[in-house]
């Protein structure tokens, strides 16, 4: 069963791609077919958020459970992937903004808050690169990633809701309601699940790869 899970994911994401174009209708008040990007942009932003929160959780585990290297590695990989998905969210968002606002970038609160968030986590990687001692690096990086528990929800959820923004309403709006066509919501939800699963698969592969590299390096020394 476990062996077939990646194939299930392949089928799932393929169905999302087809569903985004042939099942979900075009969203109202959007220019042309620009709303199709929603099924890729929103899940990427979601995965980025999930990755940063997961990194904070692994950092707590690192600090609380005897400074195990695997927890430190898991946190660092989550942040690397969170940055990757965050950049993809920015790129897909800019493509949409070019069609809808006639500008690639206009410092909208949502664009800006995601950018600040990515810069915050890029600094995490810089911090890791600046410390040679693994024990000290793990401790400092974990403390920094823990800050993300406050910073990330504020930038992803609070900031865009307390400032005026041209960005379309979030999936769950300020009144706590989902106001969109059910078929759009179904494909969006399916896409979000699929990209979250893809993130955890990539995370697992990258952690195993780094563990192997560390083992081989130890063997050579």
Binding site for another protein (CB under 8 A): 6, 9-10, 13-14, 17-18, 21-23, 33, 201-202, 205, 208-209, 212
Task: Judge whether 69 and 138 are in contact, CB under 8 Å.
Answer: yes
Minimum distance of another protein from residue 210's CB (angstroms): 11
Measured from the CB atom, the residue of 15 and 60 that comes closer to another protein is 15
Q: In Å, how far are 66, 109, 126, 154, 195 from 116, measured between CA atoms?
A: 32, 10, 15, 11, 23
Task: Judge whether 189 and 38 are in contact, CB under 8 Å.
Answer: no
**Torsion-angle region of residue 177: left (phi > 0), alpha (psi -120 to 50) or beta?**
beta
Minimum distance of another protein from residue 7's CB (angstroms): 8
Q: Residue 74 corresponds to which tokens in the numbers above?
A: 């898991």
Measured from the CB atom, the residue of 6 and 134 that comes closer to another protein is 6
Measured from the CB atom, the residue of 31 and 205 that comes closer to another protein is 205
Minimum distance of another protein from residue 60's CB (angstroms): 27
Measured from the CB atom, the residue of 10 and 104 that comes closer to another protein is 10
Measured from the CB atom, the residue of 60 and 202 that comes closer to another protein is 202
The sign one gets for the Cα dihedral 61, 142, 56, 200 is negative
Minimum distance of another protein from residue 144's CB (angstroms): 29
Angle at the Cα of 197 (from 191 to 201), degrees rounded to 5? 140
Q: Residue 16 corresponds to which tokens in the numbers above?
A: 């999302």
Minimum distance of another protein from residue 17's CB (angstroms): 5
């Amino acid at each position: 069963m476990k062996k077939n899970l990646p194939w299930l994911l392949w089928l799932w994401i393929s169905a999302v791609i087809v569903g985004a174009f042939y099942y979900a209708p075009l969203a109202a008040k959007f220019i042309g077919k620009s709303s199709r990007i929603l099924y890729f942009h929103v899940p990427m932003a979601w995965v980025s958020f999930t990755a940063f929160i997961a990194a904070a959780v692994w950092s707590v585990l690192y600090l609380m459970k005897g400074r195990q290297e695997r927890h430190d590695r898991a946190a660092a990989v989550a942040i690397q992937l969170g940055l990757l998905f965050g950049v993809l969210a920015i790129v897909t968002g800019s493509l949409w903004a070019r069609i809808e606002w006639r500008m690639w970038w206009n410092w909208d609160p949502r664009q800006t808050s995601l950018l600040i968030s990515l810069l915050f986590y890029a600094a995490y990687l810089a911090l890791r690169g600046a410390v040679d001692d693994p024990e000290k690096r793990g401790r400092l990086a974990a403390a920094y990633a823990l800050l993300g528990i406050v910073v990330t929800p504020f930038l992803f959820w609070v900031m865009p809701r307390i400032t005026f923004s041209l960005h379309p309403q979030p999936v769950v709006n300020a009144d706590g309601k989902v106001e969109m066509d059910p078929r759009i919501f179904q494909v969006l939800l399916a896409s979000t699940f699929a990209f979250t699963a893809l993130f955890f698969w990539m995370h697992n592969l990258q952690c195993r790869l780094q563990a192997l590299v560390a083992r081989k390096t130890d063997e050579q020394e």
